[in-house]
């Protein structure tokens, strides 16, 4: 009995120490992100990304990042393409993409932002961009638990779309998710008639 209690308390103590360590790392990374964010341009968009994100794939229409300094189960992706079907709404387009990923979201822990949520952006007001977003925990392919943050942006000037995703285990989504969110919500867009100008100062 004593041995079992000792093992249980040791496991609990180890878990609490790991949790404290994780919180310290996350707090320090938040300050590090502010101090050392890198500028990154993709198509007509400019972003600020954490310095610890590692670029693992770079193609003309695809960008992928992972954390190369840890074993975090996390990946962010940017995909650029022409409208899949210009006749359907951005909401329907977005729904189709989520279904392709075979994601079923937990309704009680998910947040969906429709185009009206982004109406304060000038690019949205003038009709150049349209955005939707979903964020939360989900089950992928009926088995794997995960955390997904996804944005779909339609560039109506170019008739093209940017599909951005941050996919991870549930725990790691809480670690990298805020940086992906910051990257996407603070992106800068260059209109087509000025696309030769410098995206990032």
Which of these, 171, 123, 191, 138, lies nearest to 23 by C-alpha position? 171
C-alpha span between 165 and 134 (Å, rounded): 10
List per-residue pLDDT tens for the chain, 201 residues long: 555 677 677 777 776 765 665 555 555 555 555 567 899 999 999 999 998 899 999 999 999 999 888 777 899 999 999 876 778 999 999 999 999 999 999 988 889 999 999 999 999 999 999 999 999 999 998 888 999 999 999 999 999 999 999 999 887 777 888 899 999 999 999 997 665 433 333
Say if residue 77 is exposed, middle or buried (CB neighbours under 10 Å; 0-12, 13-18, 19+).
middle
Topology classification of domain 38-194: Protein Transport Mog1p; Chain A (3.40.1000)
Q: Indicate the helix (H) or strand (E) that contains 9.
A: helix 2-36
All structural domains of the chain with their residue ranges: 1-36, 38-194
**Would you give the end-to-end CA distance of the chain in angstroms?**
65
Q: How far is the C-alpha of 24 from the C-alpha of 44, rounded, in Å?
A: 36
Please tell me what DSSP assigns to residue 37. Answer: P
Please tell me the predicted confidence (pLDDT) of residue 20: 65
């Amino acid at each position: 009995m004593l041995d079992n209690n000792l093992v249980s308390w040791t496991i609990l103590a180890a878990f609490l120490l790991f949790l404290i360590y994780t919180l310290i790392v996350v707090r320090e990374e938040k300050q590090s992100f502010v101090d050392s964010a890198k500028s990154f341009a993709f198509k007509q968009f400019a972003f600020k990304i954490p310095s610890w994100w590692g670029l693992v794939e770079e193609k003309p229409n695809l960008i992928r990042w992972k954390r190369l300094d840890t074993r975090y189960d996390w990946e962010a992706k940017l995909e650029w393409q022409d409208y899949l079907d210009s006749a359907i709404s951005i909401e329907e387009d977005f729904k189709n993409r989520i279904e392709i990923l075979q994601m079923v979201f937990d309704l009680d822990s998910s947040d969906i932002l429709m185009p009206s949520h982004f109406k304060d952006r000038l690019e949205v007001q003038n009709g150049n961009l349209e955005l939707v977003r979903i964020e939360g925990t989900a089950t992928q392919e009926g088995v794997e638990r995960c955390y997904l943050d996804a944005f779909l942006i339609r560039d109506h000037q170019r008739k093209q779309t940017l599909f951005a995703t941050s996919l991870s285990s549930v725990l790691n989504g809480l670690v990298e998710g805020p940086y992906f969110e910051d990257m996407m919500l603070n992106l800068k867009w260059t209109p087509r008639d000025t696309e030769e100008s410098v995206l990032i100062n």
